[in-house]
Structure 1
């Protein structure tokens, strides 16, 4: 299996890359910055993962273009900014939170039988580094985890192989993070 990591210029990108490589080997994970994507080459990969990143998805190079072009044909997993980008591509609304979550672990209630969370007990602790969140998710996106304040923290698409998490599975603050990555790779 060949996985493309789209790097949204985030310091956590290579934590995710190392988790992927631990499962697939170094030669099966390719990292490309969001403003250096050759769109036709994305098709050569089996799966795409969208890294966290600063700022907004609309300002993140070709991130939204990749989602629009491949969301109906490729398994895509979005983390933090990547999660927000997938959600926005289907019409979810991005809101700026009153409370900022940077470097904190909070419990997530897993509310759907999502294979992404197979073998993980609810509630699970998850590391958070964000000041934005999604709301008004369309019916095609099933919310699979909530935080204690009712903020959507994960979703899966009802019909397409798309998943996203607002939290950081690659963070030391997310003990079940390696299992989440392994589960996604097995889907």
Structure 2
């Protein structure tokens, strides 16, 4: 079962549907509805942290959860969920000069190609991605 932590964002149900379309069993839980221990007790195969309207420090159990399960349970963060990874480990973030909604932008990375098995394996640099920030 994939546990999807809802950081109070309506997009969480789009994410749930996408995973379900791939045949994944999904359980959606609000970021303040369970303790970290209760989440771990559910034995999720993976955890996804959703977007949300706040910053990482106001995302319920999200930071504590990442600190507790990092390296033991596969994690993925979307928007705010991704910011939690850095925020939970002393990373800095800053607000961009303006929101960007649906803009296609080249993203440069230092991995890729057939010789790597990292996150960007098989992808060219730059790769083209759609940005959505608010």
Band the TM-score falls in, shorter-chain normalisation: 0.7 to 0.9
Alignment of 1:65-144 (within 5 A): 65-112=64-111, 113=116, 115-131=118-134
**1:89-142 deviations in whole A, cap 9, x for unaligned?**
1221011212322332322224314543444444333232225xxxxxxxxxxx
Distance 1:17 1:122, change over 3 A: farther
- Whether 1:33 aligns to 2:36 is no
My pick for the range that moved more, 105-114 or 53-62, is 105-114
Q: Which has the larger radius of gyration?
A: 2
TM-score (normalised: structure 2)? 0.81
Secondary structure at the aligned position of 2:51 is classed as coil
Secondary structure at the aligned position of 1:49 is classed as strand
Alpha-carbon distance, 1:66 to partner? 1.2
Quick check: 2:35–2:61 contact (8 Å CA) kept in 1? no
TM-score (normalised: structure 1)? 0.60
Quick check: 2:3–2:27 contact (8 Å CA) kept in 1? yes
> Can you give the 5+ residue segments of structure 1 that lack an aligned partner in the other structure?
132-187
Partner of 1:20: 19
> Can you give the 5+ residue segments of structure 2 that lack an aligned partner in the other structure?
none
Length, aligned pairs only: 128
**1:51-82 deviations in whole A, cap 9, x for unaligned?**
11112011112111211221242111111111
Secondary structure at the aligned position of 1:58 is classed as helix
